[in-house]
């Protein structure tokens, strides 16, 4: 206890030198007082055994004053006492005098004044050998001998230990040499935590001081960012394990490691404190991080609790619309729109105060630079090691596009859901060959299944399909997989009420990169109503087609928006085409119109579209087999809700035959009209011209037969003669009328040689020619297809007229023919009186006469008969003045094989 309290005691007594001397005598008496610089301050008692007396250099340095044999041990004792502030007891020996002579050295740390310099009092005492004491006290020789033998053995052992000790010392010196050269901060402490070794780097770092005596570990000053060394060592010793503590400041980054050393009995005898320097690595890592920080697309900024931007990357500058480096030092909140400033500020402060990071919070942000965005914001509060205030790291990730996509997706999903609900379309999905099928709400509703369950067994699905339709469904699926045919099938599906409804499934398989099917996704829609409508439509369509076929009416439809054209079956027939030969399209369909009709048709349809009114036209349309056909078209433009014309519907009717019939009918009608008129005229003139001689005969007879009236003999004879001439005239009229009516009768037709006809007439009329001294001239005349009787009558009448009305001495009749493009032009002319110009058309009328009957006998039917024959052969006749001076009758005869009647 006295030893433990010695320091206190010394401190108290040092103020009184007498007491100090008395203390030295008590402790010593042979002692040396050494200051902290290891200079000898005072010597007490007899220390001649220990100090170098032979070479007095006048130096007070302990290493010079002490004998070399004690030097190391004394210096060690001084350092320990000095460092631990506790008494240190050690042993030393004087090798040069006698190797058995040992000395005890006790080092007392002394502080002369409180807060003053630390000194050490070294007290030397002679070492008393225990064995020698035993030898002196026991008188038994045997025992003494035995003891001596033991002593010698011990000595021998001691010598060995000496040698080992020497070796250890040398090793120790080598170690010290190594340790002195290392730059690593390293401290070794003993079990009392006195520093027994400290590398120069450690001395500098922990400001251990340069005094010879190494201090206790608690006197080390830990730099900023370092833990208390004493605490660390004590923890390692207490735990008997290695502890490692990260250390960091602005100059140094690494770790502090305390390694306890154990004795053979597992007691802690010392500990080593080592500092691992990772500063360079940390700096390198910091540079790399800085590079990443600067180049990250996300805006990363650190703010203090006022919102001041302490640190920011380039992305932050861009985000706020600033030039590089401009954001640092500014207040973050100034960049946000007033309306959201407080909200953001509150979020930041909350995070800083709670110290809890806030990760990936999605916020809508509006900046003062008019930038409105969706952002994912992370807030990470960080307590800076050397700063009192925490910083808030903020990462802003612009996810506007992503958010838009999400919104769009949500919108799409919403629309899809609505669409599915509205259209009663359900979606299903089945992993390939999986046992379960996903059914959307639509299908579940249709099948009357549980509302919340979405997965159903495949057998469940199969049980809903009508057994007769299952093979069809499977076939469609198989063909889709194997041939890539569309997965589209209609079948009967049992609904929740147990009734079968018609549904349509449309699906698509998904293949992976290896070409294997992954899943099927498809829809099921209830088409019962649609199917019923289609059945009705089919029926209507069949009726329409039947009506169309029967009436020969084709219909078409132009979709203006899509530019497509539809043709009904009959349309193909009208064009003489088949659906295999031609696919209707507007561009090519207009090419079927006759080029002369197309502009009219295009104009009509364009006007109809413009005014949205009905249209109709007649045009010629090319038929693939029959040339141009005539069609009647009617049509109508159709408008959508907005009033825009979307379709033109039209109907074609092939009226070619009808037109031909109408044309024929018109011809017949005209002919009938003409015939009727002729008949009417015929009957009229008959009634007049035939009535005339009859009336005459009747009157004359009446005069002759009247009993009260005597006409006299002369007149009676004249009356009888006149009755006779009227009777002859009546007969001539009847003969001519018969001839006239016979023209229409069926007669034998063939090739008629007109020259032969003329020859015959010449023969027949020879007496007339001779009587009038007349002549007839005709060259070679053509052969014509027709009835000989007609041409005989024709020429007889014309030549007869030429002779009958001729007043010349030598009447001449000339007949000629000339070829025309369509047939022949034949003329009969004479040198008679001719026909007055104004009477030339009238001469062909029935019973028309230019001469009085008393001048020239005639019925007035001759030229009417001629005209009728010419007309019969599609020709025309006219009366002109002849070069011979008389009349010239010229008529055309068509050179085609016209059938009589």
Residues within the interface to another protein (CB under 8 A): 684, 688, 691-692, 695-696, 699-700, 703, 706, 709, 711, 715, 718-719, 722, 725-726, 839, 848-854
As measured in angstroms, the least distance from the Cβ of 698 to another protein is: 10
- Give the length of the chain: 901
As measured in angstroms, the least distance from the Cβ of 887 to another protein is: 15
Q: Which is nearer to another protein, 470 or 684 (CB)?
A: 684
Gap between the Cα atoms of 550 and 562, Å rounded: 31
Q: Which is nearer to another protein, 99 or 688 (CB)?
A: 688
As measured in angstroms, the least distance from the Cβ of 889 to another protein is: 18
As measured in angstroms, the least distance from the Cβ of 863 to another protein is: 13
As measured in angstroms, the least distance from the Cβ of 688 to another protein is: 6
Q: Which is nearer to another protein, 392 or 835 (CB)?
A: 835
- The strand pairing partners of 509, in sequence order, are 520
Q: Which is nearer to another protein, 571 or 697 (CB)?
A: 697
Q: Which is nearer to another protein, 236 or 719 (CB)?
A: 719
Q: Which is nearer to another protein, 461 or 847 (CB)?
A: 847
Q: Which is nearer to another protein, 413 or 855 (CB)?
A: 855
Gap between the Cα atoms of 265 and 193, Å rounded: 19
Q: Which is nearer to another protein, 522 or 858 (CB)?
A: 858
Structure tokens at 891: 């008529």
Q: What string of H, E and C letters represents the secondary structure of 41-73?
A: EEEECCCCCCECCCCCCCCCEHHHHECHHHHHH
| Pairing verdict, β 186-190 and 195-198 | antiparallel
CB 594 within 8 A of CB 619: yes
Cα diameter, the chain: 247
As measured in angstroms, the least distance from the Cβ of 591 to another protein is: 58
CB 462 within 8 A of CB 436: no
Gap between the Cα atoms of 591 and 201, Å rounded: 105
As measured in angstroms, the least distance from the Cβ of 704 to another protein is: 10
Gap between the Cα atoms of 518 and 516, Å rounded: 6
Q: Which is nearer to another protein, 566 or 684 (CB)?
A: 684
As measured in angstroms, the least distance from the Cβ of 711 to another protein is: 6
Collapsing DSSP to helix, strand or coil, 655 comes out as coil
Q: Which is nearer to another protein, 534 or 839 (CB)?
A: 839
For residue 713, what are the CA distances in angstroms to 220, 496, 697, 718, 719?
200, 129, 18, 9, 10
Instruction: For the chain, state the CA radius of gyration.
Output: 74
Contacts of 426 (CB under 8 A, 6+ apart): 420, 439, 440, 441, 442, 443, 444, 445, 446, 523, 524, 525
460-496 CB burial, b ≥16 within 10 A, e <16: ebeebbeeebeeebeebbeebeeeeeebebbbbbbbe
As measured in angstroms, the least distance from the Cβ of 803 to another protein is: 18
As measured in angstroms, the least distance from the Cβ of 851 to another protein is: 6
Q: Which is nearer to another protein, 327 or 726 (CB)?
A: 726
Give the CB-side neighbour count of residue 266, counting CA atoms within 13 A.
Answer: 4
As measured in angstroms, the least distance from the Cβ of 706 to another protein is: 7
| Pairing verdict, β 299-303 and 877-881 | unpaired
Q: Which is nearer to another protein, 719 or 758 (CB)?
A: 719
Gap between the Cα atoms of 757 and 893, Å rounded: 16
As measured in angstroms, the least distance from the Cβ of 896 to another protein is: 38
Gap between the Cα atoms of 734 and 140, Å rounded: 216
Nearest to 847 by CA among 836, 858, 857, 856: 858
Nearest to 107 by CA among 94, 96, 97, 92: 92
Q: Which is nearer to another protein, 726 or 793 (CB)?
A: 726
CB 886 within 8 A of CB 806: yes
Collapsing DSSP to helix, strand or coil, 297 comes out as coil
As measured in angstroms, the least distance from the Cβ of 801 to another protein is: 14
As measured in angstroms, the least distance from the Cβ of 804 to another protein is: 13
Q: Which is nearer to another protein, 71 or 804 (CB)?
A: 804
Gap between the Cα atoms of 800 and 732, Å rounded: 15
As measured in angstroms, the least distance from the Cβ of 676 to another protein is: 17
CB 701 within 8 A of CB 724: no
Q: Which is nearer to another protein, 598 or 686 (CB)?
A: 686
Q: Which is nearer to another protein, 83 or 849 (CB)?
A: 849
Nearest to 272 by CA among 208, 334, 188, 371: 188
CB 313 within 8 A of CB 296: yes
Gap between the Cα atoms of 299 and 337, Å rounded: 18
Structure tokens at 810: 């030598």
Contacts of 832 (CB under 8 A, 6+ apart): 802, 805, 806, 807, 808, 811, 885, 886, 887
Q: Which is nearer to another protein, 816 or 850 (CB)?
A: 850
CB 639 within 8 A of CB 609: no
């Amino acid at each position: 206890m006295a030893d433990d309290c010695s320091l206190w005691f010394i401190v108290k007594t040092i103020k009184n030198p007498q007491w100090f001397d008395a203390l030295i005598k008590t402790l010593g008496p042979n002692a040396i007082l050494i200051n902290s610089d290891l200079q000898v301050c005072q010597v007490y008692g007899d220390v001649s055994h220990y100090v170098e007396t032979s070479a007095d250099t006048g130096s007070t340095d302990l290493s010079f004053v002490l004998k070399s044999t004690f030097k190391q041990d004394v210096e060690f004792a001084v350092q320990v006492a000095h460092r631990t502030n506790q008494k240190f007891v050690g042993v030393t020996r004087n090798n040069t005098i006698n190797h058995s002579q040992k000395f005890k050295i006790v080092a007392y740390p002394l502080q002369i004044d409180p807060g003053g310099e630390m000194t050490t009092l070294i007290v030397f005492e002679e070492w008393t050998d225990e064995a020698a004491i035993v030898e002196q006290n026991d008188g038994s020789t045997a025992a003494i001998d035995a003891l001596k033998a033991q002593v010698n053995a011990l000595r021998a052992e001691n010598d060995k230990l000496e040698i080992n000790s020497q070796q250890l010392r040398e090793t120790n010196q080598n170690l010290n040499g190594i340790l002195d050269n290392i730059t690593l901060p390293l401290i070794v402490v003993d079990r009392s935590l006195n520093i027994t070794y400290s590398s120069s780097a450690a001395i500098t770092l922990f400001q251990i001081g340069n005094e010879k005596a190494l201090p206790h570990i608690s006197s080390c000053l830990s730099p900023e960012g370092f833990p208390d060394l004493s605490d660390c060592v004590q923890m390692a010793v207490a735990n008997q394990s290695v502890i490692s503590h990260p250390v960091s400041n602005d100059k140094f980054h690494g770790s502090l490691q305390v390694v306890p050393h154990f004795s053979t009995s597992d007691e802690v005898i010392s500990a080593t404190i080592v500092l691992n320097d990772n500063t360079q690595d940390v700096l390198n890592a910091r540079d790399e991080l800085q590079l990443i920080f600067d180049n990250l697309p996300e805006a990363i900024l650190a703010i203090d609790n006022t919102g001041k931007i302490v640190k920011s990357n380039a992305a932050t500058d861009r985000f706020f619309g600033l030039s590089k480096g401009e954001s640092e030092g500014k207040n973050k909140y100034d960049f946000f729109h007033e309306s959201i400033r407080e909200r953001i500020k509150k979020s930041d402060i909350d995070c800083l105060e709670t110290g809890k990071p806030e990760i990936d919070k999605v916020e809508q942000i509006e900046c003062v630079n008019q930038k409105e965005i969706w952002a994912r914001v992370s807030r990470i509060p960080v307590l800076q090691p050397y700063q009192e205030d925490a910083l808030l790291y903020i990462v802003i990730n612009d996810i506007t596009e992503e958010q838009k996509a999400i919104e769009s997706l949500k919108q799409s999903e919403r629309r899809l859901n609505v669409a599915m609900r509205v259209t009663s379309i359900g979606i299903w999905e089945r992993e390939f060959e999986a046992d379960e099928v996903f059914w959307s709400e639509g299908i579940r509703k249709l099948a009357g299944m549980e509302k919340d369950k979405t997965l159903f067994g495949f057998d469940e699905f199969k049980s809903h399909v009508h057994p007769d339709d299952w093979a069809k469904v499977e076939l469609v699926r198989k063909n889709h997989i194997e041939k890539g045919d569309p997965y589209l099938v209609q079948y009967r599906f049992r609904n929740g009420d147990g009734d079968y409804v018609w549904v349509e499934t449309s699906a698509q398989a998904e293949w992976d990169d290896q070409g294997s099917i992954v899943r099927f996704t498809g829809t099921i829609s209830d088409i019962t109503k649609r199917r019923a409508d289609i059945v009705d439509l089919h029926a209507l369509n069949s009726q329409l087609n039947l009506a169309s076929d029967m009436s020969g009416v084709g219909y078409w439809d132009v979709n203006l928006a899509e530019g497509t054209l539809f043709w009904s079956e009959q349309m193909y027939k009208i064009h003489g085409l088949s659906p295999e030969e031609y696919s209707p399209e507007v561009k090519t369909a207009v090419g079927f119109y006759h080029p002369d009709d197309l502009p009219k048709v295009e104009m009509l349809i364009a006007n109809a579209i413009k005014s949205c009114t009905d249209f109709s036209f007649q045009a010629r349309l090319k038929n693939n087999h029959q040339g141009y056909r005539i069609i009647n078209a009617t049509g109508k433009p159709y408008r959508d809700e907005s009033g825009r014309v979307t379709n033109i519907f039209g109907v074609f009717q092939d009226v070619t035959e009808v037109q031909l019939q109408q044309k024929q009918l018109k011809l017949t009608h005209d002919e009938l009209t003409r015939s009727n008129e002729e008949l009417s005229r015929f009957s009229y003139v008959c009634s007049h011209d035939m009535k005339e001689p009859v009336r005459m005969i009747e009157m004359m007879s009446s005069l002759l037969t009247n009993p009260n009236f005597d006409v006299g003999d002369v007149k009676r004879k004249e009356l009888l003669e006149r009755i006779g001439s009227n009777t002859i005239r009546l007969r001539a009229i009847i003969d001519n009328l018969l001839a006239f009516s016979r023209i229409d009768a069926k007669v034998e037709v063939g090739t008629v040689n007109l020259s032969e006809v003329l020859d015959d007439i010449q023969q027949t009329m020879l007496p007339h020619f001779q009587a009038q001294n007349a002549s007839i001239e005709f060259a070679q005349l053509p052969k014509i297809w027709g009835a000989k009787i007609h041409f005989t009558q024709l020429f007889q009448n014309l030549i007869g007229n030429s002779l009958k009305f001729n007043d010349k001495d030598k009447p001449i009749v000339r007949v000629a023919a000339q070829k025309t493009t369509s047939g022949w032009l034949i003329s009969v002319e004479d040198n008679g009186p001719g026909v007055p110009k104004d009477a030339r058309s009238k001469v062909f009328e029935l019973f028309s006469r230019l001469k009085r009957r008393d001048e020239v006998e005639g019925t007035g039917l001759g030229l009417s008969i001629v005209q009728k024959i010419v007309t019969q052969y599609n020709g025309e006749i006219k009366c002109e003045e002849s070069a011979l001076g008389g009349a010239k009758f010229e008529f055309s005869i068509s050179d085609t094989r016209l059938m009589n009647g």
